[in-house]
Amino acid sequence: MTLTPPPLSNDCFALPAGVDWTPVDDALELLRTRLTPVMGAETVPLEAALGRVLAQDVAARRANPPQPNTAVDGYGFAGGRPAGAHVLPLVEGRAAAGVPFDGAVPAGQAIRVLTGAALPDGVDTVILEEDVNTDGRQIAFNGPLKQGANTRRAGEDVQAGAVILTAGRVITPADLALAAATGLAELPVRQPLRVGVLSTGDELVEAGMPAGPGQIYDANRPMLLALLRQMGFQALDLGRAADDRGDLRARLDDAAARADVILTSGGASAGDEDHVSALLREAGAMQEWRIALKPGRPLALGMWQGTPVFGLPGNPVAALVCTLIFARPAMGLMAGAGWQRPQGFEVPAGFEKRKKPGRREYLRARMRDGRAEVFASEGSGRISGLSWAEGLVELPDGAVHVKPGDPVRFIPYGSFAM
Ligand code: AMP
Ligand code: MG
């Protein structure tokens, strides 16, 4: 008897019938409600605070600006002036930034002031240098000029004691300016989340090493390690594990002792060589998440000796999408930064695509001439498309037929801190 392969069914590429696929939003909601911050806090100087997660609200020690000052180079005096010509005598001396005038300016007289100078006693209004004629002893200008013109009030930007940055904030360069300006030299931040990255698969070889037939270079590890660093986490390189339970078990043991979260890639399905899911199942703390997502299924989520493990798919495209969509907000929450939703933008499509209902889809995309264009191939092994892209187009769970010019949601890589 000759063995014949079974016929292809019409729906061989359809999602399995009768199986519950978790919608992306439900999966995210589960992560959001089940995870909590796990990192302790420390205080660091401003120069070490960039990219760190603020551990508690911080308040201004000092107002900004600390005292009323002039916003322009010009001449200061008391009160506004009505329309018409005005001539005022100049007092001797001047007020410059950091070099205040230490007398009082009598009513009806004016003083030379330079940008940033504290307003001398008797001055609450400044006229712009360009609007004045002077012989060095008096100034002449035309009104009207409002009282307070061209000056900055004390605390008009920030009042002393006001909360300037709230807990969970990921510190930016501008935040450092704000903290410094309001009298702070250090900030309370969370310890960085330590994220271990492990690749699995007998076929994997280290970049640059000789590769035999059937072998491929480990592309996920350099990508994920770099991505995690960009996201502000402390990335731990856990190397490569063979498709061997003993090897994998030993590496997970080591990882659980050193990392707060473990990202593995490969071996997350239910096949013979899918040892990550097998081990997590054996440990009794494994959830195989059949997420209605393309590219990306399946995602194996489990606990290994108390450390959460994200078992990412092996395909680099799926591994990246799952990391951006699921692992990043989950890790952000554990790191103390709260649940971060990537900011997307509605933009006109520069492509046409039909999509069936049942799962959300992410396309490698980039903006050109005001439109989102997508990579020519959707194959999840196409690493060149990841590199070509500058973001993802998110297509909704339901059926869609996108035509050129239709609005689609574009999420730049930068929205994922990538
Ligand atoms: P798996 O999830 O282990 O079945 O792997 C799915 C596909 O991704 C296979 O073609 C693997 O060879 C490939 N793959 C797995 N891990 C990596 C990796 N670290 N770098 C590049 N390709 C990988
Ligand atoms: Mg594999």
Say how many Å lie between the CA of residue 259 and the centre of ligand 1.
23
Find out whether the peptide bond into 213 is cis, omega within 30 degrees of 0. Answer: no
pLDDT in tens, 233-244: 999 999 999 999
- Ligand 1 lined by 277 (C-beta under 6 Å): no
The pLDDT score that the predictor gives to residue 284 is 67
- Whether the predicted pLDDT of 126 surpasses 90: yes
* Model confidence pTM above 0.85: yes
For residue 243, which atom of ligand 1 is closest to its CA?
A: 3
How many angstroms separate the CA atoms of 378 and 122, rounded? 71
| 5 vs 353, more confident | 353
pLDDT in tens, 146-181: 999 999 999 999 999 999 999 999 999 999 999 999
Q: What is the mean pLDDT of residues 255-267?
A: 95
Length reported for the chain: 418
Q: What is the mean pLDDT of residues 192-200?
A: 97
Domain residue extents for the chain: 21-40+192-334, 43-62+164-190, 69-152, 345-416
- Whether the predicted pLDDT of 185 surpasses 50: yes
Say how many Å lie between the CA of residue 375 and the centre of ligand 2.
25
How many angstroms separate the CA atoms of 164 and 9, rounded? 61
The pLDDT score that the predictor gives to residue 92 is 96
For 69-152, CATH number?
Answer: 2.170.190.11
Q: What is the mean pLDDT of residues 18-31?
A: 81
Q: What is the dihedral of CA 366, 368, 372, 377, to 10 degrees?
A: -60
Fold classification of 43-62+164-190 (topology level):
Molybdopterin biosynthesis moea protein, domain 2 (3.90.105)
Cβ 204 vs Cβ 219: under 8 Å:
no
The pLDDT score that the predictor gives to residue 191 is 95
Mutation pick for ligand 1 pocket among 224, 243, 265 (CB with most ligand atoms within 8 Å)? 265
Of 317, 305, 330, nearest to 385 (Cα)? Answer: 317
Tell me the pLDDT band of 300, cut-offs 50, 70 and 90: confident
Q: Whose CA is nearest to atom 23 of ligand 1?
A: 314
Say how many Å lie between the CA of residue 225 and the centre of ligand 2.
19
Say how many Å lie between the CA of residue 414 and the centre of ligand 1.
25
For 21-40+192-334, CATH number?
Answer: 3.40.980.10
Say how many Å lie between the CA of residue 228 and the centre of ligand 1.
19
Ligand nearest to the Cα of 271, by number: 1
3-state DSSP assignment of residue 70: strand
The pLDDT score that the predictor gives to residue 298 is 75
User: Residue 380 CA to chain centroid, in angstroms?
Assistant: 25
The pLDDT score that the predictor gives to residue 242 is 94
- Ligand 1 lined by 295 (C-beta under 6 Å): no
| 18 vs 247, more confident | 247
For residue 219, which atom of ligand 1 is closest to its CA?
A: 20
pLDDT in tens, 63-99: 999 999 999 999 999 999 999 999 999 999 999 999 9
Task: Name the percent of the chain lying above pLDDT 70.
Answer: 94
Phi/psi at 387 (nearest 5 deg)? -75, -35
How many angstroms separate the CA atoms of 321 and 327, rounded? 9
The mean of the pLDDT values for the chain is: 92
345-416 has CATH 2.120.10.30 classification: no
Q: What is the mean pLDDT of residues 245-259?
A: 94
- Ligand 1 lined by 220 (C-beta under 6 Å): yes
Residue 212 burial (C-beta neighbours within 10 Å; 0-12, 13-18, 19+): exposed
The pLDDT score that the predictor gives to residue 5 is 62
Ligand nearest to the Cα of 263, by number: 1
Tell me the pLDDT band of 12, cut-offs 50, 70 and 90: very low
Mean pLDDT check: name the lowest of 22-36, 48-62, 361-375.
Answer: 22-36
The pLDDT score that the predictor gives to residue 302 is 85
The pLDDT score that the predictor gives to residue 310 is 92
Say how many Å lie between the CA of residue 266 and the centre of ligand 1.
5
For residue 271, which atom of ligand 1 is closest to its CA?
A: 4
Opening angle at CA 281, ends 278 and 286, nearest 5: 125
The pLDDT score that the predictor gives to residue 2 is 60
- Ligand 1 lined by 332 (C-beta under 6 Å): no
Say how many Å lie between the CA of residue 11 and the centre of ligand 1.
25
- Whether the predicted pLDDT of 289 surpasses 80: no
The residues whose Cβ lies within 5 A of ligand 2, an ion, are: 201, 266-267, 314
